[in-house]
Amino acid sequence: MTLETEFTPKIRGKLNRVRVIDAALQLMDAQGLEAVTMRAVARDLGVEAMSLYNHVHDKEDLMDGVIERVMEGFRRPEPREEWLEAARDAGREWRRLLKAHPSMIQLLAEHSKPMTTTATLECMECALSPMIRAGLTPREAADTFQTFGGYIFGFVLMETRGTFGGPESGDITPESLGALVPDIGRLPNVAAVFPEMCATDPDAQFEFGLDLLLAGLQAKVAGRA
């Protein structure tokens, strides 16, 4: 009689910022960054697109929230005696986090805003702590952080986007490469190395680079004492 209070169900529960952000994150992980649309997020919440704007200022604000949310997933490794092992753990955890949400790098790449939220800074703290303990000056720690961060970001970028053809990039084989590139004869080193690039285990490859960096760092620290 009074208009159907039963019909329009609040079964879908009240919306709020966290629910909106989580829906966006789930969608991003499941279908990729380009699938994250205001309309699609709203649909997953059983709601119209414009309703989201009651909880996020605009799409950029929503994506900021997603970044922050991902960073909250950082699992601080258990403490270590050896600063070198602590640094290794931190590097591995950063990679785990980025790989757990394969669109994160793409999101960061198009977002161009410094990450200064609490969750992010706590991740930084975790990475910086072993370096300071190793006796690096703040300036050296800053440089080292950028170096390790750059390596991890770049590695995961190439890994998830298949930049140079990895194991899962499917159709690129040594033979198909020969067919693809007419003058492969002029590129002997590429011809020799490319098969290995396609065949390698990404985890082992990541450890290789991490070892290289840590070895360099250890040499620098040792040469001082």
Partner DNA sequence: CCCATTGACGTACGATGTATGCTTACGGCG
Partner DNA sequence: CGCCGTAAGCATACATCGTACGTCAATGGG
Q: Of 22, 29, 40, 153, which lies in the binding site for DNA, with binding defined by CB under 7 A?
A: 40
Q: 141: which 2 tokens? A: 């720690």
Q: Tell me which residues in 191-220 interact with a copy of itself (CB under 8 A).
A: 192-193, 195-197, 200, 204-205, 208-209, 211-217, 219-220
By CB under 8 A, residue 108 contacts a copy of itself: yes
Burial degree of 196 (CB within 10 A; 0-12, 13-18, 19+): exposed
Q: Of 15, 40, 47, 158, which lies in the binding site for a copy of itself, with binding defined by CB under 8 A?
A: 158
> Look-up: residue for tokens 């009651």?
54
By CB under 8 A, residue 30 contacts a copy of itself: no
Select from 116, 119, 94 the least CA-distant residue to 105: 94
Q: Which stretch binds a copy of itself (CB under 8 A): 1-9, 14-22, 57-65, 114-122?
A: 114-122
Torsion region of 162: left, alpha or beta (phi above 0 gives left; psi -120 to 50 gives alpha): left
CA angle 76, 141, 217 (to 5 degrees): 90
Closest CB 53 distance from DNA, rounded Å: 6
* Interaction site with DNA (CB under 7 A): 3-5, 8, 10, 14-15, 36-40, 42, 47-51, 53-55, 58-60
